[in-house]
A = this chain, B = another copy of it.
C-alpha cells in the first residue's frame, strides 16, 4: 500500500501490442517505446468537456462534411474518374481527394469505437466510389495522369499526389485497426505498393512537396508487417533536405527541403508540413531503431516549443506561407496557428510521448487540445476556424452559410473552405480522441489527459483493469479515478501533473500528499471501489511572456488550469474599447464558473483616447504624469469559445497598466 513519490521524468519501456481490431483501433501504434497506446474501445469518453465534443463530431460534423464533399463535387470527382469525365468535370483544388480520405479515416475511428451500422454503411458506400477510381497499377488521384491532365508526378512541389496517398493509406490503416480486412485496406495496400514501385530504390529519387506519406507508410507497415513500406518511408525521410524539390518563392524551407531531418535544429517552413514530416520521422526512427534521428526530432520539438509556439499551443506565425516565423516572432494579431498544424503537433507530440514517456509531450497536447482543437469548431460542429488568431482587431463579417469561403478568414468560423483541410482533420482527431487520454506499460496505466471516461485495459498476464474517471475538468480541478476492477497484485496508476499545477495533491488509500508537476505514481494493490483523487489547482493565474517575444511585450495573459482566457468586446462594459483596456496586475483575479470551463473577472484601467494624429511622440523629459484612469471589471472567458456569440473583437494578451 505504498504511495510512491511523484517522479518527474520518463517511465519504463513498454512492450508493443499487436492486435487492435478487438480494441477499436488506435491512431499510432509504434512497435516499441516507453508507453503503449490504448484502443478506442479501451478508453471511452463519457459526457464531459471532450465527450460532448466527440458526440457533436459524430452527430453533426461527419454529416456536415459529407454533405459539403458531395455539394462541392469532391466526392463526385471519383465518379467522374470512373465515368471518364475528367478532367472536364474535376472540382476543387489539387488535393481535394484527401478530404474524402480524411472523412473516411474519421468514420473508421468512429465506427471502431461505436460499431454504428448506419455509419458503416455510409463508409462502405464512399469506399466503393473511391475504390472504383483506382487504376490497375494502384495509382489513384483524380487530378493527374489522364489525357488533358498533368502527367503523374510532374509537379511534386505542388501536386500533392504522395500527400494524397498518405491520407488514403491513413484511412486504410484506421479501418484495418478499427475493423479488419476491408476493401479500403486493399485500396490502401495497392496504393502503397504503387508508391514503392515508383519511388523505391532505383525509382524516382524524389519526395512530395507536402509530407504525409511518411507516417502513413510506417503505420501501414505496422498493420501489415510489410518491411518495404517502412523502407520506403525511411527513404522519403532521408531524401528530404537535400534540395530534391525545386526552389520556390518561399524558399525550400517551406517544404523542409532545406536541411536534412536529422541535421535540423528546429521546425521551420509550412507548419503542417513540418509537423507531419517530424511525426513520420519519429515513426521511422522508432521502427528502425535510429536513436540519432529520434534525438534530432526530439531536439527540434523542444526548440520549437521554446521559441516558436503560441501560448495556445498553436504553431505557425505567418499568413503568407502558413509557416513558422523566426524564433520569438509570435504576433498575436497575425497569428496563423492553423487548425491542421495543431493536429500535426498532436500527432508529433503523441509519438514522442509514446517513445520517451516524458510528461512534457502530454503537457503540450493538453494545451493544444484545449486552446486550438477545442477552439476551431463551432459549438454545433458545423463551422470551423481555419486559422486561430490570438487577437482580433476588427469585427468580422459572418461568412456565408451557403458558399465555401475563399480563404483562411480568422474573424468567424465558416462552414467550408475552398481549401478545407481543417474540418476533416478535426473530424478524425475528435473521432480518435480517447486514444490520447491514457497509455499502459508493463507496470500499469498512465493518465495523460483528464476527461470523464471509462477505461477497460488488460495489463500483461491477462490482468484486466477497469477504471472510471469522474471529473468536470477543466471547470474544476478534481479528477476522481474509481477502480471498478483490478487484479489482486499491485500495479501502478500514473497521473500527469501539469506544469502550472503547483500545489496539486493526490489522495489514495486515505492518504493525501503533494504531487509535483511531472508524473505522480500510485502503486497499490487496488481493490474494486476504491478511488484515487487528483486535485489540480485550476484557479486563475497571470502569465507573462519571454521578453524575446516582442509582439506581446508589456502584456499578460490570464490562464485557468489548461484553458487560456480572452477578453471579448461583447463582454465589455458600455463604452469600454478593447484596445483601451490596461490590466491592473495587482488588481486580483476573481474566478467564477460558466459553461464547461471558467470565467475570470479582472480589473482594468480604461485608457483615454489618444490623439488621432501622428502616432509617435517625443518622450517628455522626466516622463509625463498621466491622470489615473477609471477602472472597470472585465470578464475574461475561455478563448476556445470566442466568437461563438457573433462578431467580436478579442485579445488574449492584455496590456498592463
Give me the interface of A with B, judged by CB distance under 8 Å.
247-250, 303, 305-307, 309, 311, 318-320, 325-329, 331-334, 391, 393-394, 406-407, 499-500, 502, 541-557, 579, 585, 607, 610, 612-619, 623, 653, 655
Contacts and interface: CB of A to CB of B under 8 A. Distances in A.
B614 A499 contact: yes
A421 to B, nearest CB: 16
Contacts of A607: 547
Given A318-B334, A655-B550, A311 B616 contact: yes
A544 B615 CA distance: 9
Contacts of A393: 326-329
Q: Which of A307, A406, A502, A546 is packed against the most chain B CB atoms within 10 Å?
A: A546
A87 to B, nearest CB: 20
Nearest to A306: B612
B553 A553 contact: yes
Contact of A619 (B541, B579, B614): B541
Contacts of A391: 550
B327 A548 contact: no
Given A551-B551, A610-B546, A328 B615 contact: yes
Contact of A543 (B554, B619, B623): B619
Given A306-B613, A306-B615, 4 more contacts: A249-B406, A305-B613, A544-B617, A557-B616
30 contacts: A247-B406, A303-B612, A306-B613, A307-B612, A309-B615, A311-B616, A319-B319, A325-B333, A326-B394, A328-B615, A329-B333, A391-B550, A541-B619, A542-B619, A543-B618, A544-B619, A546-B610, A547-B655, A548-B579, A548-B610, A550-B551, A550-B555, A550-B653, A553-B554, A553-B555, A554-B554, A556-B619, A557-B616, A585-B619, A585-B623
A245 B607 CA distance: 41
Q: Is the interface of A mostly helix, strand, loop or mixed?
A: loop
Contacts of A248: 406
A403 B623 CA distance: 51
Nearest to A305: B614
A496 to B, nearest CB: 15
Contacts of A623: 585
B334 A616 contact: no
Nearest to A310: B616
A552 B549 CA distance: 11
Given A326-B393, A329-B333, A547 B249 contact: no
Contacts of A551: 331, 333, 550-551
Given A331-B331, A550-B333, A555-B553, A615 B545 contact: yes
Contact of A319 (B306, B318, B546, B615): B318
A57 B578 CA distance: 48
Contacts of A331: 331, 334, 551
Q: Which of A499, A554, A615 is packed against the most chain B CB atoms within 10 Å?
A: A615
Nearest to A545: B616
A610 B547 contact: yes
Q: Which of A307, A557, A616, A617 is packed against the most chain B CB atoms within 10 Å?
A: A616
A133 to B, nearest CB: 29
Contacts of A326: 333, 393-394
B549 A615 contact: yes
A579 B394 CA distance: 31
B249 A407 contact: yes
Contacts of A618: 500, 502, 541-543
A295 B499 CA distance: 58
Nearest to A549: B615
A325 B333 CA distance: 10
Q: Which of A406, A500, A614 is packed against the most chain B CB atoms within 10 Å?
A: A614
A316 to B, nearest CB: 13
Contacts of A319: 318-320
A402 to B, nearest CB: 15
A328 B544 contact: no
A226 to B, nearest CB: 40
A130 to B, nearest CB: 29
Contacts of A550: 332-333, 391, 551-552, 555, 653, 655
A543 B617 contact: yes
Given A326-B393, A551-B550, A619-B556, A306 B614 contact: yes
A333 B555 CA distance: 18
A217 to B, nearest CB: 32
A613 B551 CA distance: 19
Contacts of A250: 407
A579 B500 CA distance: 27
Q: Which of A332, A393, A500 is packed against the most chain B CB atoms within 10 Å?
A: A393
A515 to B, nearest CB: 17
